[in-house]
Structure 1
Amino acid sequence: MKSYKFILFILFTAFISSCENELEIEPRQNQDSQITLSTETGIINILNGAYAIAADADVFGGRSLVSGDLMAQTGVTSTTDLRWRGTYAEFRQMYTKSVLVDNAFVRQIYARNYEIINAANTVIENVDKVSSEEKRTTMVAEANFLKSLAYFDLVRFFALPYEAGKQNTQLGVIIRPKAIYDFNTDLSAERSSVEEVYALIIKQLNDAYAGLPAENSFYPDKYAAKALLARVYLQQQNYAAARDAASEVIEDSGRALSTNYANAFNHDENQSEDIFAIQITKQTGENEIVVMYASEGNGGRGGDIELRGTYLNKFDDPDNDVRANFNYVNEDNGRLLTSKYTNQYGDVGIIRLAEMYLIRAETNFRLGTAVGDTALNDINLIRDRANAVNFAVLTLPTILRERELELGMEGFAIHDLKRTKGSIDVNGNGSLLIPYNDPTLVFPIPLREMDTNKKITQNPGYGS
C-alpha cells in the first residue's frame, strides 16, 4: 500500500491555510490516502498544500530570499550593501561564507523545495480524478509552475552557476520526475547536470504557460509563467529569449507599475505591479523576510539585516530618488532598515513588473535591439516612478546598477553576482576577491541527504 504520511501532511497543511476559523480544524491527517488520491477534493487539497509549503518561512515565505541577499555580502569589512546583525548561526554562516553541511536553514530550503515538487507530481499523476477538463488543465499547469519555481531555487543555490557557451555538465540537483508515495524505499539518485535541470525548468514553464489562463486570481497565470521564464533565460544569459519573454509580460499581461514606489510593497492583496506573490495570512504564518529586515514595531526582530552606506552611495540622485530614502532608523538600536518590509502579514512579492522592465532594458542593450521599447526609455520609466533624474545615455554598468537600486533586498543579489560573473570584494581594495564561481557561494548538499542517499555527490569544499 502507498505510504500516506506525506500526502496527509500536505492535506493538513492545506486545510490549515484555507480554514477561516482556527477552531474549525478537523483531524484530516487521519484521512485514508487511497480516498485522498481517488477524490477530486483530495487532489485539489494536495495542490493547495503545495502552495502552503511554498509560503513556508523556509522557502518563498522568506528564507530563500534572505539567503540570496546574505550570500552576496561579507562580514569582514563594510564593502557590501548589507550587514548581518542577527543571532541566527545559520544566516551568519551564509554571511561569512562558512556554511556547514548541517546548516538547518539550508537543509530546510532543500527539503521544502522537494516537498513542493513531490506534491506537484502527485497532482499531475492523479489529476484524472478532477471532473472538469478546464480545471484539470489549469491544475497541471499550476503544478508545473510550482515545480519550476522549486527547481530554479534549488539549482541556483546548490550548484555551480550556469555559464553561457559551455556544456554546463557540472552537477545540478536531483530530478524527481515521479511522485514519491513510499518513503521507505531507497530513493538514492545522483544529481542531474545543471544543463539538464535548466532544460526541465524551461519545458515545465512552457507547459505551464500553455495551460494557464490569462487571469487566475492570486494563483499564477500564464504571464507569471512567462515572467519566470524571462528570469530563467536571463540567468542562462539567453538574452534574446529573456527579452522576448519579458516584453510579452509588459505588453500583454495587463499589469502596470504601481503609481509610486512605496505602493509596490507591504500590501495584503496583489497590486497592479504584482505578477506573482506568496500570500501570507495570520493563519498561514509570518512573512519571514519581514522578520529578518524589520524593527520589532514592524513585526521583525529589530533589524537583523541593516543597510550599509555602501548601498546608499550607489544612488546618483539621492536627494530626489525616493528609493534612496525608502528606509528608516530603528529607534531602539539605531540601525538603518529598509522600508520594503514593514507588514508582518503582507504578501511576499516573488515577481513584479519592474523586474520585467529591467530585464527588457538589459537584454535590448546587450543585443543592440529595441524590442518593445528602447533600453533608455525602459530605465527612465523606472526612474520616473522613483522621481530620479532621467539618463541621457546608458551603459551596461548603469543598467546593472539600476537593477540593484530597484530590486535591492529582494533576494536577487547572489544570483545576479553569479550571472554577471562578479565577485565579492572582501577588503575593499581588490586584494581579496570571492569570485562568482567560488564553491563557498554554493550551498552544501545537506547532511541528511548525504547520509541517506548512496549515490549523491557532495559539492566541492564540503567533504564526501
Structure 2
Amino acid sequence: MKNVKHIITGLGLVVMLASCSKSVETEPLERINEDLVFDQIDKNADYAKQFLNGTYQQLPDGYNRLLNAFLDAGTDDGVSSQDGSIVEGFRTGLVSGQNVPDNQWARNYTGIRRANIFLSKIDVVPTTPALRSQWKAEARFLRAYFYFELLKRWGGVPLLGDKVYGLKDDINLKRNTAEECYDYILAEIEAVKDLLLPAVVADQNIGRANKGAALALKSRVLLYRASPLWNPGGDLQRWTAAANAAKDVMTLGNYSLGTDFIALFNSVKHAEIIFMKEQAQNQSVEISNGPIGYIQGTGNTSPSQNLVDAFLMKNGKMPADAGSTYDPANPYANRDNRFAATIMFNTTKWLNRPVETFNGGLDRPGGSRTQTKTGYYLRKFMGKFESSGTYSNQNHHVILFRYAEMLLNYAEALNESNGPVKEAVDAIIAIRKRAGVSAGTDSRYGIAAAIDQNQLRTLIRNERRIEMAFEEQRFWDIRRWKIAEQVMNSPVKGMNILKNPDATFSYTIQDIAPSVFDASKNYLFPIPYSEIQTNPNMTQNPGYTY
C-alpha cells in the first residue's frame, strides 16, 4: 500500500501543535515524533488532545470540496458551472484507477493511522481515567467513520485493527470483505457509544463525538447495509435493524426539526444538528456559488432542472401531478419552502436586486465566463443576504448528521420492512410540515391515504432528495438503491429563459449535459492505481482494468 507508506512517513504529528509552548517549539519540525506528543510529563495532556483534535480534521469536508464543485454535481441534481471539472468524470464515465475524482483513500487511512497512534500512546499521558476513556472512544468512533467513508466508495478494504505499521512492516495487505468491514464498523460503534460524551454537549465540546453521533453513524451504516447494493438477497431483518437504529436516535429526545431551514445551515448550536465538523467563519460558500452578476460570486454550481422538478408544490403534490397547481408560465410559484431555500432562480431577490438568469441577464450574460449552465444557482448553505449590500462572514460548519436524516432513514427502513405503516408516514409528515406543505383536509400533507409500499418508497426517496440536496446524500443514495443506471443515463436538464418585450419570461426546458453510467462497474470506485501497482495482494474492483 504505497499511500499507506506515504502516510507513515508524512503523517503530520505536528498538526495543531504550532501554538504549543513546550519543547516541541524548539525541535525542528522533521524531528517531532510521537514521544513529544504523548509525553509522560504533559500533566494537562494538551498535546495528546491536540493530536486527537487534528484527527477530527480528517472528517469529510463539505461544500465545494472537489476543485470548486459539490459531489452532487456528479449526479442528476446538478453540474459544475466550470468546464472540465473533475466531478464531471462521474457523469462522463471517465473514471479509472488513474482517475478517481473523489479519491479519499489516503485521507481516510491517514485518519485511521492517527486514531491507531493515539490509542497506542494515550495510556502514557497523565490524565484522568474518565477523560482517557472518553478520548479513546472518540478515536475509535472517528476510525469507524473513516472506514465507512472507504467502504461506501470501494466496498471491502484492508482492516488494520489497532496495529500501527512502521516503515519496515509488511503492509501489502489483502482486502477484507465488505461484510467484514460492516461488522467491524458496527462493532466499534457498539463498543464506544456509551463511553462518549452525552448526546447534548456543553458549548466547549461542540464538534466532539458524542452518543448521538455514534447512534446516527450506526443508523446510516445499517441503512446502507440493508439497501439493494449491499443486500441483494433482500434480507428484511437488515431493514428492521436499520429502522431500530434510526428510532434509537429519535427516542433520545435530544433532537428536533428547526423551523427556519435557511438558518439551520449557518448555526453553531441547533436542535437538529447531531454532529458537525467545525470551520472558521467565512464567505466561501457565498463567493463560490453566488450568482456572477454581483461584485462577488463565481457561480460554480448549477442545480439541475431535474432537481427543480422534484420539489413539491405547497399542497404536497409533485408539479406533474393532477391538481398540483403548477403553472409552466410561472414555474417557481407555490413550491414548498425548501425550494427557494435551496435554489436561486430567475427573479429571486439577492443582494438587493432580482437574480437574472434569463439569456443575456446580469447573471447569465453568455460568453466564456463561468456562469450557470442550467438557469439556476445554489442558494442552500448561504446566509440571509436578500437585503444586504455585500457578503459577510458566516458559520459554514459541515453538518455530518442532522435529525431530518434520521427521520428519513426511519421512514425508509420501516417502509421496506413493514410496508406503509403509520410511523413511516408520520416521519415524512414531520419533515413536510417544517417545509411549509399544507396539511390538507385529511392532515396527511399530500400523502395519499391509500398509498402502497412502492408508492411510499418513491415518495420517501424523493423527499430525501429535496430535503438533503447538496449534502452528499444523492450521490450515494442512487448507488445503494441500485438506480444510478436509470437516473444517470439520461441528460441533465436546465431551463432556457427568454425575457419578453413586456418584461414577462418564457421558459423552455432543455438538455444541458449528457450522462452515462456503466452498471457493470460504476457502483463502486476503482481502487487507486498506485495501490494496485505497489501492493501485489490488492485486487481491483470488477470492471476496472487498471
The counterpart of 1:381, out of the listed 430, 440, 454, is 430
- Is 2:220 aligned against 1:231? yes
- Is 2:273 aligned against 1:274? yes
- Is 2:391 aligned against 1:391? no
Aligned letter for 1:199? Answer: D
Distance 1:258 1:361 in 2: 19
- Contact 2:79 2:304 survives alignment (8 Å): yes
Q: What's 1:69 paired with?
A: 72
- Contact 2:93 2:517 survives alignment (8 Å): no
Task: Provide the identity percentage.
Answer: 24
- Is 2:530 aligned against 1:462? no
- Contact 1:299 1:342 survives alignment (8 Å): no
Distance 2:301 2:63 in 1: 18
Q: What's 2:50 paired with?
A: 45
- Contact 1:418 1:436 survives alignment (8 Å): no
Deviation at 1:153, TM superposition (A): 1.0
Deviation at 1:370, TM superposition (A): 9.3
Distance 2:218 2:363 in 1: 42
The counterpart of 2:533, out of the listed 436, 441, 451, is 451
Q: What's 1:414 paired with?
A: 475
Distance 2:28 2:49 in 1: 14
Give the direction of change, closer, same or farther, for the CA distance of 1:138–1:294 in structure 2 (3 Å limit).
farther
Q: Which runs of 5+ in 2 are unaligned?
A: 227-237, 315-333, 346-354, 356-361, 365-370, 384-393, 439-444, 493-513
Aligned letter for 1:341? Answer: F
Q: What's 2:304 paired with?
A: 308
The counterpart of 1:194, out of the listed 171, 178, 181, is 178
Aligned letter for 2:72? Answer: D
- Contact 2:302 2:378 survives alignment (8 Å): yes
- Is 2:344 aligned against 1:328? yes
Deviation at 1:411, TM superposition (A): 0.5
Distance 1:141 1:91 in 2: 35
Deviation at 1:5, TM superposition (A): 8.2
- Contact 2:490 2:516 survives alignment (8 Å): no
- Contact 1:322 1:386 survives alignment (8 Å): yes
| Structure-2-length-normalised TM-score | 0.70
Written as runs of structure 1 = structure 2, the 5 A alignment for 1:8-407 is 9-15=11-17, 29=29, 30-39=31-40, 40-54=45-59, 57=61, 62-63=65-66, 68-71=71-74, 73=75, 80-87=76-83, 89-103=85-99, 105-107=101-103, 109-130=104-125, 131-159=127-155, 172-214=156-198, 215-216=200-201, 217-218=205-206, 219-237=208-226, 238-267=238-267, 269-281=268-280, 293-295=289-291, 302-317=298-313, 319-326=334-341, 327-329=343-345, 331-333=362-364, 335=372, 336-342=376-382, 346-368=396-418, 374-389=423-438, 390-393=445-448, 394=451, 395-407=456-468
Distance 2:435 2:249 in 1: 21
- Contact 1:158 1:445 survives alignment (8 Å): yes
SS in structure 2 of the partner of residue 102 of structure 1: coil
Deviation at 1:198, TM superposition (A): 0.7
Distance 2:112 2:468 in 1: 27
Q: Which runs of 5+ in 1 are unaligned?
A: 74-79, 160-171
Deviation at 1:266, TM superposition (A): 2.7
Most deviating of 383-392 and 287-296: 287-296
Q: What's 2:490 paired with?
A: 427
Q: Deviations over 1:258-297 (max 9, x none)?
A: 1221122133x23221101111116xxx798777655579
- Contact 2:216 2:246 survives alignment (8 Å): yes
- Contact 2:193 2:214 survives alignment (8 Å): yes
SS in structure 1 of the partner of residue 16 of structure 2: helix
Deviation at 1:189, TM superposition (A): 0.9
Most deviating of 215-224 and 26-35: 26-35
| Structure-1-length-normalised TM-score | 0.81
Larger radius of gyration: 2
- Contact 1:65 1:412 survives alignment (8 Å): no
Most deviating of 298-307 and 342-351: 298-307
Q: Deviations over 1:283-313 (max 9, x none)?
A: xxx7987776555799997233311111111
Give the direction of change, closer, same or farther, for the CA distance of 1:8–1:187 in structure 2 (3 Å limit).
closer
Deviation at 1:462, TM superposition (A): 2.8
Q: Deviations over 1:54-88 (max 9, x none)?
A: 26x5x8994599675244x2xxxxxx321222245
Distance 2:286 2:486 in 1: 25
- Contact 1:66 1:289 survives alignment (8 Å): no
Distance 1:241 1:70 in 2: 32
Q: What count of residue pairs does the alignment treat as equivalent?
A: 429
- Contact 1:93 1:100 survives alignment (8 Å): no
Distance 2:305 2:57 in 1: 37
CA RMSD of aligned residues (A): 3.6
Distance 1:202 1:143 in 2: 15
Give the direction of change, closer, same or farther, for the CA distance of 1:86–1:61 in structure 2 (3 Å limit).
closer
Distance 1:203 1:314 in 2: 37
Give the direction of change, closer, same or farther, for the CA distance of 1:4–1:151 in structure 2 (3 Å limit).
closer
SS in structure 2 of the partner of residue 14 of structure 1: coil
Deviation at 1:397, TM superposition (A): 0.8
Distance 1:321 1:195 in 2: 40
- Contact 1:11 1:28 survives alignment (8 Å): no
Most deviating of 254-263 and 447-456: 447-456
- Contact 2:275 2:401 survives alignment (8 Å): yes
Distance 1:387 1:300 in 2: 31
- Contact 1:120 1:143 survives alignment (8 Å): yes
Distance 2:177 2:162 in 1: 18
Most deviating of 381-390 and 94-103: 94-103
- Contact 1:287 1:347 survives alignment (8 Å): no
* Structure 1 or 2: more helix by fraction: 1
- Contact 1:439 1:461 survives alignment (8 Å): yes
SS in structure 2 of the partner of residue 236 of structure 1: helix
Give the direction of change, closer, same or farther, for the CA distance of 1:252–1:7 in structure 2 (3 Å limit).
farther
Distance 1:428 1:60 in 2: 24
Distance 1:193 1:157 in 2: 13
Distance 2:340 2:312 in 1: 13
